[in-house]
Amino acid sequence: MNKERITKVLDQARDMDALLLSDPYAIYYLIGKKIAPGERFLGLLLQKDKAPVLFLNILFPFDEMEGLKIVSYSDTDELTAVLQPHFDPSWILGVDKTLAARFLLPIIKNKLVKDCVLGSRAVDKVRAVKDESEKELMRKASKINDEAMAIFKTLIRDGISEKEVAAQLPAIYKRLGADDNSFDAIIAFGKNAADPHHMPDDTIVKQGDAVLFDVGCLYKGYCSDMTRTFFYKKEPDEAQKKIYSLVKNANEEAEKMIKAGVKLCDIDKKARDIITEGGYGPYFTHRLGHFIGIEVHEYGDVSSSFNDLTQAGNTFSIEPGIYYPEILGCRIEDLVLVTEDGVEVLNSYPHDIEIIGL
């Protein structure tokens, strides 16, 4: 159990009487144990000056943990009856954003508490600022991702499909010391690269294709996430080069301006303005980046609607893209770590145009 993190979270939750976390990642962050409860209820109840309480189905074996109270229940118990003795009808209860309606509505309708409010922001804010041990893991996860990208590009050869490439990634990550993919890899050939969320299919690579890899690994619980767009066996034409260079420029100029105390929306604007001035604004259809850590997408955006200031210890992606099916779909993404006076770009794989398969 990480008491320091729990204290920080409760400090952020001062407008609530208690906080009920159900998100396995938030619970992992605070107690150091990953539990995948499936459709069953898992809850960690936090209150100031009281021991945290973990509600856990007896199906999941759990060793005692100092300072943590365990409340076991079985599949035949009714949830509200399990929770009620530990709740107070006068409470403003913070619940986390992922709490499912099947758990939340009974709490509300049975009046176990006075009111429920979204409370996961309290954990999110603490998670957004990585401590030293987390920074090390984020660096290492991205270092493995850089090494992996150099191998992934060699997998592309005549006759291979996106799916066949995707199937080989987990083993390569494991060989490099990671535990698994951190998300389902996006591997996109040709026009598929113009769909930012394309899932690998049976498309076969052909000469002249863009080859987009949006990939990441999980290293000791922490995620990497990087995108590079290569060209298969043929130099890109002028129109493609223009798009590529706008994306590269947007990525690098955005990264350059990062340090503690910058508005996240301004970083988005920097990249977006470059692409808009280049004439491709409408084809950059998503936010510039997302926070990342033990989950690939954590609370915090690099987008026009997110006005928070960066803080030292934030880790997020910078991933401008242009998706123009008739010419090119292209994205260049790095992870960055904000420092007091600047930025540490966690990926070092080059941004330059690279022709592969030669």
Given the rule CB under 8 A, which residues bind a copy of itself?
38-39, 58-61, 75-76, 95-102, 104-105, 108, 116-118, 120, 167, 170-171, 195-197, 285-287, 297, 301, 303-305
Strand order in the sheet with 315-318: 298-302, 289-291, 315-318, 334-339, 342-345
Nearer to a copy of itself, 15 or 235 (CB): 15
Nearer to a copy of itself, 37 or 342 (CB): 37
Looking at residue 13, the DSSP 8-state letter turns out to be T
Nearer to a copy of itself, 170 or 357 (CB): 170
CB of 303 to a copy of itself, least distance (A): 6
Nearer to a copy of itself, 25 or 231 (CB): 25
CB of 210 to a copy of itself, least distance (A): 17
CB of 184 to a copy of itself, least distance (A): 8
Looking at residue 310, the DSSP 8-state letter turns out to be P
- Here the tokens at position 127 are 């998670």
CB of 169 to a copy of itself, least distance (A): 12
Dist. CA 44–CA 83, nearest whole Å: 11
Contact between 27 and 42 (Cβ < 8 Å): yes
- DSSP result, 154-206: GG--TT-BHHHHHHHHHHHHHHTT--EESSPPEEEEGGGGGSTTPPP-SPBP-
Single-letter residue type at 73: Y
Dist. CA 219–CA 182, nearest whole Å: 8
- Here the tokens at position 181 are 């993919």
CB of 97 to a copy of itself, least distance (A): 4
Nearer to a copy of itself, 302 or 343 (CB): 302
